[in-house]
Amino acid sequence: MSVEYIGIFEREDKVLTGPIIDANNAFRKYLIKEIDKKSLKLSIDKVKNIEYKDYFTFYFLVLATKVDIRDKELISLLDSNLLESKVALSMLYENLKLYNKSIKILENETHEIAKINYAWLLIRLKRDINKGKEILLKYSENNSLAKAVLGIIYSDEKKYIIANSYLFEALKNSEPLSYYSLGMNYYYGRGVEKNIEKAKELMFRARDIGDYSKASYALGLIFNDSNNIVESIRFLKEAVNFGEYKAAYKLGKIYLDIFEDQEDVELAIKYFELASENKISRAFYQLVKLHIALYNMSKDKQYIVKAFEYVERCKATDSKLSDELSKLINRATSISDSD
C-alpha cells in the first residue's frame, strides 16, 4: 500500500501564507531528494495554521518516517475542514480498501475540487460511472482539473482522440494532472503522432509536481528505450520507492540482461521478488526460469527447491501459471538428470 503526496490546492477562496507554500515546495524537493528529511521538518515546523500543519505532518509521517498507513493515529491528523485533508483522507481510505468511507467523505462536499475528486472516485471504483462523468462534464467548461480527469478516463477507455482533446485543453492551463496521461499518449502514439521527446518533457513536468511513481516509471522506460541504462535504473528505482512495482519487474529484467557478475543476478532476484510480492505474476516466471538456469550451471539442487517455493507462492496470484511453472521445472530437471 502506498500514498502519494497531493500537495496544496490553488483556489480563490483560500489565501495561502508563505510558510504553507514553502512547506509544500519543501515536500516536492524532498520527494526528489533535493533536500533531506531534517530540512523538510524545519519547513513544516514554521507553518502556524494548525490544519495545514497537521496535513503536512501526516505526509511527513507516512512518506519521510514510513509510518504504516494503517496506524489509526494518522487519521486524526486529517480530521479537519481543510479541503486538502478531506481529499487526502478519502484517498487514504481508498488505499485501505475502505471504499464506502472513501466515498462518504466527499459526497456532500460542495467545493468543485471535492466534487471533481468525488466524481473520479465513483468512476475508479465503478460505483456510478455515468454520474461521475456527468459531474465532470458539468465542471469541465471552466475547470482544467475536470478536463484532465476526463482525459485520463477516456484514455483508460482507449478513446484517445477525445481523451487528447481534453488533455490538450487542460495542458493549456498548465494543469499538472494532464502531464502524465498526455505524455503516455505521446510515448505510445495513441491519438497523436508518436513523439518520445515530447513524452519525456511531459513526464519530467509530471514528476516535478509530484506524480512520482508513474512519471518516474515512464521516464525509466523512455531512457531504457534509448539505451541510457544508468538513467533508466535511477528513475525505475525512484518509481519503486513510491510504490510502482511494475518498475521492480523492469529493474529485474534490466539486471538480468546486464548479467555481468553475481551482483547483477542478486539484484535481478531482489527486484523480481519485490514485483512478485506485489502480485505481478510474470515475475514468478522470471524467478523460476532464472533458478533453473542457476541449477543447470551449478547442479546445486537448492535452486530447484527455491524454484518450487516460487511455484507455491504463485498459486495465490495465478494458479494456471503456477501449474505451468511446475511442469517447466520438472521438464528441466528430468533433462538435466538424463544428461
Q: Which residue among 107, 139, 170 closes a domain?
A: 107
- What pLDDT does 222 receive? 96
Considering the domain boundaries, does residue 273 fall inside one?
Answer: no
Cell of 291: 533458478
Domains: count for the chain:
2
Considering the domain boundaries, does residue 36 fall inside one?
Answer: yes
Is the same domain home to 101 and 145?
no
- What pLDDT does 15 receive? 66
Q: CB under 8 Å to 155, separation ≥6 — which residues?
A: 163, 167, 181, 184, 185, 190
Q: Which residue among 194, 210, 226 closes a domain?
A: 210
Is the same domain home to 4 and 101?
yes
Q: Which residue among 193, 210, 227 closes a domain?
A: 210
Considering the domain boundaries, does residue 234 fall inside one?
Answer: no
- What pLDDT does 111 receive? 92
Considering the domain boundaries, does residue 176 fall inside one?
Answer: yes
Q: Whole-structure pTM over 0.85, yes or no?
A: no
Domain membership of residue 84 as a residue range: 1-107
Considering the domain boundaries, does residue 166 fall inside one?
Answer: yes
User: Going residue by residue through the chain (339 aa), what tens digit of pLDDT does each one get?
Assistant: 467 888 888 766 666 779 999 999 999 888 878 899 999 999 999 999 999 999 999 999 988 888 888 888 888 999 999 999 999 999 999 989 999 999 999 999 999 999 999 999 999 999 999 999 999 999 999 999 999 999 999 999 999 999 999 999 999 988 888 999 999 999 999 999 999 999 999 999 988 877 778 899 999 999 999 999 999 999 999 999 888 999 999 999 999 998 777 888 999 999 999 999 998 999 999 999 999 999 998 889 999 999 999 999 999 889 999 999 999 999 888 755 555
Is the same domain home to 55 and 145?
no
- What pLDDT does 270 receive? 96
Is the same domain home to 91 and 27?
yes
Is the same domain home to 135 and 61?
no
**What confidence tens digit (pLDDT) does each residue in 228-278 have?**
999 999 999 999 988 899 999 999 999 999 877 788 899 999 999 999 999
Is the same domain home to 18 and 73?
yes
- What pLDDT does 66 receive? 83
Is the same domain home to 80 and 144?
no
> SS3 of 309, please?
helix
Is the same domain home to 70 and 101?
yes
Is the same domain home to 154 and 101?
no
Rg (CA), the chain: 23
Is the same domain home to 193 and 162?
yes
